[in-house]
Structure 1
């Protein structure tokens, strides 16, 4: 009888440790607000992710609310390439429907950090984009990167991209898989 009681106690303790919660869920690839629905999540964390893209003066702001992807929680990504900037922030919280926050992005840090990288952006080309231009990296962008591949941008058009520029550790770690409103179709190269 003692063994049965102990077994039942262990099973109930395990059942209690499998936590679920509700989170707001929505996705808006080119606006800072979205129509929220409630979803059931495995785990107790919810997430709000904000993204900013400035490509030659065309600005795209996007927001995503969902169950938390714990590997993204607290990340702050920054990428700069010739006449373009990409930034994201993922905030997570614990509890039912806790992701009530709106679009939020930290201010860009324009302070040069001493790192210089080649800067090139070729849209419509998947071969290596070359340029003699160098850019001064700023803020947390402490590495150089190169990306070549096909992607769908926030304007919903599939294009080939070849680019080089500055990147920070979080953006290098998650590369463009963490982008909101950007779908990576075929990657030729991504290096940091």
Structure 2
């Protein structure tokens, strides 16, 4: 019986060390520095994520470190609309405290890919932002997007956005609950085609 108890204690100790790792944890909204701490994570993977938002000459950069969200690991999303751009990227790593660096999003390939999409941006409306203008999509952005939502950016006031442009497939599947500092308060419409 003592042998069985000792074996179970050993297995339990090993399981705890295999399935629980520490990752660096912080969220920085429109900043390049934040107070880092350590957090216990289930599994052995940590994540670092960055987001870049640009609209009407306003630029916001944010980053996150913490436990890995496996559905987001190694994703890079890009969307370009009239006078605006949103890019996110994630990197997951294995091992304790492995997410100690800020993740720099790789630059999008500027080479046109042959896809052309309508391009527009309208504020203060969830109605379709109609346009006759088109944009040449580049790099991995091989889908057209029509997006309408009420967003709150960095604890500001809620603003309605309606826009069309180019996007890549990761952006089209992106879960906005993972945003850093940009909260989707209400989604009116999203279509990638």
User: TM > 0.5 between the two?
Assistant: yes
1:68 aligns with 2:68: yes
The answer to whether the Cα contact below 8 Å between 1:32 and 1:103 also exists between their aligned partners in 2 is: no
Counterpart of 1:37 in structure 2 is 37
1:100 aligns with 2:100: yes
TM superposition shift of 1:70: 0.8
- Provide the aligned length of Structure 1 versus Structure 2: 189
SS in structure 1 opposite 2:174?
Answer: helix
The answer to whether the Cα contact below 8 Å between 1:144 and 1:164 also exists between their aligned partners in 2 is: yes
TM superposition shift of 1:113: 0.5
The answer to whether the Cα contact below 8 Å between 1:34 and 1:63 also exists between their aligned partners in 2 is: no
**Structure 2: unaligned runs, 5 residues or longer:** none
**Poorly superposed stretches of 4+, deviation over 2 Å:** 11-15, 154-157, 175-179
**Structure 1: unaligned runs, 5 residues or longer:** none
Give the alignment's Cα RMSD to 1 decimal. 2.3
Counterpart of 1:16 in structure 2 is 15
The answer to whether the Cα contact below 8 Å between 1:27 and 1:65 also exists between their aligned partners in 2 is: yes
TM-score (norm 1): 0.89
Taking the aligned partners of 1:103 and 1:92, their CA distance within structure 2 comes to 10
Q: Which stretch has the larger CA shift, 13-22 or 173-182?
A: 13-22
TM superposition shift of 1:13: 7.3
Flag the 1:155–1:106 CA change in 2: closer, same or farther, 3 A.
Answer: farther
Taking the aligned partners of 1:94 and 1:139, their CA distance within structure 2 comes to 29
Counterpart of 1:46 in structure 2 is 46
TM-score (norm 2): 0.89
